[in-house]
Copies of this chain bind each other. A is one copy, B any other.
Amino acid sequence: MPLGPRQLAALAAADIARVTVSEAPHVVVISTGSELVEPGLSRSRGQIPESNGLLLETLVRQAGGDVVRRVHVDDGGSAFRREIAAATTGGSRADVVITSGGVSAGAYEVVKTELGDALRFSRVAMQPGKPQAFGVLPSGTLVFGLPGNPVSAAVSFDVFVRPALLALQGRSDLHRPALRLPAAESWHTPPGRRQYLPAVIDRSDPARWRVRPATPGGSGSHLAGALALAEAYAVVPAETAVVEPGDLVEVLLLEG
């Protein structure tokens, strides 16, 4: 169990001055994509701001991990190879590497090109987050290859990476507590894929919280704005085509 203020106080009150804790996993975050430019720098046509590095770094930190390096590389391959080599050898060896982008079926998919034999590339029946890659390198380093768009990366982190980071710290409560709440409005869900919808909680009735999409009507995985508003993910089974008001929906409450 994590030691927060109340646990530390109880230990101190019991005259326990030292406790053995697990070491924070060392994590390297690599955003890939030649189209990405650091926020605030000038961009040319077709370029977009890089946001996944900051997203994943702060999510890792919230999950108790220690981000030892965060870097953005292009699709050329040599920079990516250099980063993987640095993360898997010597004193700076990482426990976990998280990449974003480069796992789809396009021509310049750097993660797929460079680690095609080392990782398993899957299409997962979820939305967002369909393209995923995972594998263990010879160094023992776990590699999570997340999709590149921000909402997909955020959801994929929660579904696949966060439980692994907690397990590496000896935690047994790997999943966010699921709460079942009635839907406050109707929304459509993707056919045949489990939906993780950025959602907000309607608390107007404290005895009956309800859940609604963070952005009305929209479930597009490109909507980073929905992420900023979200305080939960609504999880809808693949078999469900539409959520009606009052339907009980599984809700994962997010922190901060």
Chain A: residues with CB nearer than 8 A to chain B? Answer: 2, 4-18, 38-41, 43, 48-52, 54-56, 58-59, 62, 150, 154, 177-180, 201, 203, 206-207, 209, 224-225, 227-228, 230, 248, 250, 254-256
Residues of B within 8 A of A150 (CB): 9-10, 13
- Are B10's CB and A51's CB within 8 A? yes
Q: Which of B6, B18, B154, B207 contacts A9 (CB 8 A)?
A: B154
Nearest CB in chain B to that of A177: its residue: B203
Nearest CB in chain B to that of A248: its residue: B207
- Are B224's CB and A55's CB within 8 A? no
Bound together, the chains give a CA A178 to CA B16 distance in angstroms of 33
Bound together, the chains give a CA A108 to CA B121 distance in angstroms of 69
Residues of B within 8 A of A40 (CB): 15-18
- Are A51's CB and B13's CB within 8 A? yes
- Shortest distance from the beta carbon of A64 to any chain B beta carbon, whole Å: 10
Listed from nearest, the 10 A-B pairs whose CB atoms lie closest are: A17-B40, A4-B256, A12-B51, A10-B228, A9-B55, A5-B58, A13-B224, A180-B207, A6-B227, A17-B39
